[in-house]
Structure 1
């Protein structure tokens, strides 16, 4: 590739003489830093123009005059484009390529080391929080995903066809202190679209803050729009198409990470999770996580295209063996890459969240009286009954409920493919039996006779949460619909399906 210096002489001569490439096909003589505030960002690219065997990195100082014609440039509308092929050089601890910005609180001041507290943020509970460049922080972005990889040898593996469009990363320390410094990620925001689907899914993950060799170290996925991880079902109208704009706000205030996701035609989705303890985003204690979360860690924001479609062929969870040659022109033609365009990217101080941020996740809770219990206290015969139905099921949380004169257990968790599911169990004498198998749905996933029956019966009822409840061993399925009025009061309606006939129930379904 011919290398042409751009906008004058570069200070980092050896590197920038090679990397400052004329921006063919984009806005002439204009680079991303002319349209976006990149005064605290550097970038890692899927290139090796200086032939040192490592992905190229452009500093905060040099990025002010930098673009790359293929992997980092402004499009004709002034959008900042990040592109990353499936096959290219990767950073030391990853098998995934990236065209991705890394936030640098130090700005251009290289006197402060990259891994210094002054260049990173932490949570308020860190005993040395005052030494950091910032306590908490906020990143806001608006973007569209242009393309995700089209080919994978193991399409059933979770990362296939996906790209991370924003994240918080913790620093990795050579010497770990009190179980911190593993370099894990408390946040990754994903977009994933299967090649045969019109629309893709948006979700985010929280990684348990544990050593790499700990079997419990895994990413816990939470839905935004559409499906999770390896669910091959078409998300339909619940999903987001390539080219559709979405926005996210990541606001780490005090110890808590507040997330907001917005897109036209979709419900705004909010979450919150404390990064200084082991309580998950559903408000339940995760007994496998570090008891103090990321309390002592040093964190930083990242944004761009972190391509998850690794070409590595390995039995591990993260390696879908996506196709790619390493020749960009060939890989581009074959669709073996990820590309994202940002129209807004801002970072700064955290702000106090609005009241009840993320409380939508508890819709339906006021209509049930449940008591949480430890996962370790689930009766053996209850777990045996579940495993007989779904051997791959992993328990995440358990609640006990008393209603209709009976005692129930609600056992929530995930299957091996990442799907979330709940088993409702009835106590009969000293044994437990599965009576319902539940999962959350969106409106577009409902059978037409079910949605039609509810609309005909209650045309003004706007469901904020929908649960499909298969009555185990009966041939009956009950669909539960929850609504919330302007005063926050919850209500419920149910539709029973038996023998293909959908009927709106006049009173709550009982076993």
Structure 2
């Protein structure tokens, strides 16, 4: 081999080595891979965990309407997490702060973008969840203290009352809390001030079981549900009838049926004893329309609707908890346990062909929030 050929081969060999080294330098380092994996983990949104957010608008714990929450998170109120076994969607809401619409309570909650009519409905909502925190403070005599609503049916029309609210409630110092649900009458006439709820126990006590004084809770329920303990609910409304099913491992399955288009509370004599004791002293002793919720558009809600607030119990012994709110400072409330937090693992919704847009409800209540926020 002559010198020119040797030189040419050497040049090609060196060039090849340089290309290989250059290629190696361009490969991602192990540290870079780890950083990339961390970045991917940060982008898991609630809509990746439960992919049904096209059907809802999200109201946050500061009263704002976040709209359709696909690929959205808010670390104060709404985000995805993992409990080392599986992914969950976190809904979190303080005791005090700006609220949406006419409510006295904060919420981080999904509200259905369509409404349906009970008489022609064939609509269903299911969810599996666990409550992680309820307010650390609150007057024990107030029925709503230490409680959170985790699912609802809400009317979009007339009084905007609620034929269904599913509660979880646990007093400080107790290991077990209670799950119960409410039916709120759709009050007859134009005056809604006489409206009241009737409470049905699922596991543990109903809403009416309260403490003997501000700092003394009732006895702990024997068949209750603990924080961080999973349970599921199914809500189905078909042809005017609401069917409910509650399940939890180690607990008896409970089912309930309620007619939403024919009232059982049309006269004063029909008012249940539980209601007379709980709401009667407050002057809430109205009667219901004969047709109940027939003719009104209804819609589902799901999330964390905190029932504990800072309003004085002297105003209303059922709903005004007198809890700590730190003047609405969210970080301070979260630091000392004055908030509600619920994690959802799965959920599904079935929407009937008779459903229509619910935009009117959102327009009205968004405007009320905007007016209140200015003051």
Tell me if TM exceeds 0.5. Answer: yes
Superposed, 1:247-326 pairs within 5 Å as 247-279=232-264, 288-313=287-312, 314-316=314-316, 317-325=318-326, 326=328
Give RMSD over aligned pairs: 2.2
Gaps of 5+ in 1: 1-23, 48-54, 105-118, 130-134, 173-180, 351-511
Task: List gaps (5 residues or longer) in structure 2.
Answer: 1-37, 211-217, 272-285, 353-375
The structure whose residues are more often strand, as a share, is: 1
Determine the structure 2 residue equivalent to 1:338: 340
Separation in 2 of the partners of 1:136 and 1:346? 14
CA drift at 1:30: 1.3
Q: 1:149 aligns with which of 100, 114, 135?
A: 135
- CA distances 1:88-143 after superposition (whole Å, capped 9, x unpaired): 10013111000000111xxxxxxxxxxxxxx310122xxxx5xxxxx241000000
CA change 1:212–1:337 in 2 (3 A) is: farther
Select which of 25, 30, 49 maps to 1:35: 49
User: 5 Å matches for 1:67-466?
Assistant: 67-76=73-82, 77-104=86-113, 119-124=114-119, 135-152=121-138, 154-172=139-157, 181-210=158-187, 213-214=191-192, 216-232=194-210, 233-279=218-264, 288-313=287-312, 314-316=314-316, 317-325=318-326, 326-349=328-351
Contact 2:148–2:340 (CA<8 Å) still a contact in 1? yes
Q: Deviations over 1:149-179 (max 9, x none)?
A: 0101x3211110000000000013xxxxxxx
Q: Contact (CA 8 Å) 2:60, 2:108: kept in 1 or not?
A: yes
CA deviation digits over 1:464-502, x for unaligned, max 9?
xxxxxxxxxxxxxxxxxxxxxxxxxxxxxxxxxxxxxxx
Q: Please say if residues 198 and 236 of structure 1, whose CA atoms lie closer than 8 Å, have aligned partners that are also in contact.
A: no
1:58 counterpart residue number:
66
- SS of the residue aligned with 2:331? helix
- TM-score normalised by L of structure 1: 0.53
Three-state SS of the structure 1 residue aligned to 2:48 is helix
SS of residue matched to 1:30 = coil
CA distance in 1, matches of 2:199, 2:186: 15
Q: How far did residue 306 of structure 1 move?
A: 0.1
Offset at residue 307 of structure 1 (A) = 0.1
Aligned length: 283
Q: Which has the larger radius of gyration?
A: 2
Answer yes or no: is the 8 Å Cα contact 1:156–1:230 preserved in 2: no
Q: Matches of 1:97 and 1:136 in 2, distance apart? A: 30
**Partners of 1:212 and 1:189 in 2: CA distance:** 26
Conserved in 2, the CA contact under 8 Å of 1:83 and 1:338?
yes
* CA distance, structure 2, for counterparts of residue 41 and residue 148 of structure 1: 24
Larger RCO (alpha carbons 8 Å, 6+ apart):
2
SS of residue paired to 2:53: coil
Query: In 2, are the aligned partners of 1:84 and 1:99 still within 8 Å (CA)?
Result: yes
Q: Which is richer in helix?
A: 2
Residue by residue, what CA displacement relative to the aligned partner does 1:304-362 show, whole Å, maximum 9, x if unpaired?
Answer: 00000011225123111211112222111211000000001110047xxxxxxxxxxxx
Q: Structure 1 residue 26: deviation in Å?
A: 11
